[in-house]
Structure 1
Amino acid sequence: MTTATKITLFRVVMIPVFLVCMYLSEIWSWMQIVSCVVFAVASLSDILDGQIARRCNQVTDLGKFLDPLADKVLVIAAMAMFCEWGIYPAWALMIVLAREFAVTGLRLIAAGKGRVIAAGWSGKVKTAVTMTGLSFMLVFGRRFVFSEVLDWVVVAAITVTTLYSGIEYFVRNHDVFENTK
């Protein structure tokens, strides 16, 4: 198993740790900071494993599968927790989920035709905005006067970048649907 894949697996293991910390933060407020640190470390590991995989020629099929899955599950875990707390609207989470399922479906159709659809620039921006925004929500939590405004700014930024990147994937790859039976 490559170093890059081990880092990705570390991120997968951090997801339940993050969720437990989030639940415990309802009992002990200081656990919200721990949650934020866990989320930030897991998010930053995404950058690290990608760089190691490319620089050290450690790109594997397992890594190609696990890396985006780990990112999506980490982000959706945070959003779902925020939904449970009433600070992230379910409709915004549904947009994120629908985009992820749609792009995955697009990639599956393309793969069936022998074509690989790599992550685009807008998808990377969406991931960075999402992880950064959720980190801000974790840091500032429900403790500050402006937290509600920050939450809505983050939700808006995530929703806009999610929609834009999803639309871009389909516009750039519309030909995948040609001659589909």
Structure 2
Amino acid sequence: MNLPNKITISRIALVPIFMIFVIPIPDATVNLPMLSFLKNEMLSINKFINSYGNYVAAVLFIIAASTDGVDGYIARKRKLITAFGKFLDPIADKLLITAALIALVQRDVVTGWAAMIIISRELLVTGMRLVAAGEGQVVAANKSGKIKMVCQTVAVSVALLNNFPFSLVTDIKIDAYLMLIAVIVTIYSGIDFFAKNIKVIKPDDM
């Protein structure tokens, strides 16, 4: 396995670590009688998560998201572009964004509608890629998809940081506006992706 693919896999590995810091231990688990001997420890962990978890998660999210550009750059510069890398890279992006959105919805930071639209687009695009893969073809991410990823990353990062650094100068919920922009760009990129790649799925019927 080459270096770019290892970096991509490391991005996937960061997803569960990110989730640990952004989602508190469920109350049902904390209050389980069989885990009563760990209740104080779990409460302490939840206190840390509720106070600082978002910031730790934001750092992990930004690190994971930034590796997207790193693995692509290395793959192009060293001519290490592979079909596996083209397939895995967008999957890693989708796992990261989906995990972040689910966590933010659970914490009432992002609306369910915004998360549903973004996640639905990712699932539809992934489905198309799987069908294309079954036909022996690999559909790489396009330019609008990359722009979409940047918009989503910025919106999620600001939401995780509780509007920092914008909170230093305004009380306006900038993260809400950034998420709206991300949703609009996501819808556009989905339409653009399907318009450009629909023939890949059913070339004989078009």
TM-score of the alignment, normalized to the shorter chain, above 0.5: yes
Paired with 2:147 and 2:18, the residues of 1 have a C-alpha distance of 23
Range 102-111 or range 91-100, more displaced? 102-111
Question: Within the alignment, does 1:59 sit opposite 2:81 as a pair?
Answer: yes
Other-structure match for 2:33: none
Q: Please, which runs of 5 or more residues in structure 2 have no aligned partner? A: 25-44
Other-structure match for 1:167: 191
Other-structure match for 1:122: 144
Question: Within the alignment, does 1:22 sit opposite 2:47 as a pair?
Answer: no
* C-alpha contact 1:107 1:117 (8 A) present in aligned 2: yes
Amino acid at match of 1:14: L
What is the CA distance between 1:110 and its match in structure 2? 4.1
Q: What secondary structure sits across from 1:100 in the alignment?
A: helix
What is the CA distance between 1:80 and its match in structure 2? 0.2
Alignment counterpart, residue 137 of structure 1, candidates 159, 177, 180 = 159
- What is the total number of aligned residue pairs between the two structures? 179
Q: What secondary structure sits across from 1:119 in the alignment?
A: coil
CA RMSD of aligned residues (A): 2.5
Alignment counterpart, residue 94 of structure 2, candidates 72, 78, 88 = 72
Larger Rg: 1 or 2? 2
What is the CA distance between 1:171 and its match in structure 2? 2.2
Q: Please, which runs of 5 or more residues in structure 1 have no aligned partner? A: none
Other-structure match for 2:110: 88
Per-residue CA deviations over 1:78-103 (Å, capped at 9, x if unaligned) read 10001101121112212112212222
Q: What secondary structure sits across from 1:140 in the alignment?
A: coil
Range 128-137 or range 113-122, more displaced? 113-122
Other-structure match for 2:10: 10
Q: Percent identity?
A: 36
What is the CA distance between 1:16 and its match in structure 2? 1.0
Paired with 2:79 and 2:7, the residues of 1 have a C-alpha distance of 15
What is the CA distance between 1:62 and its match in structure 2? 3.1
Q: What secondary structure sits across from 2:5 in the alignment?
A: helix
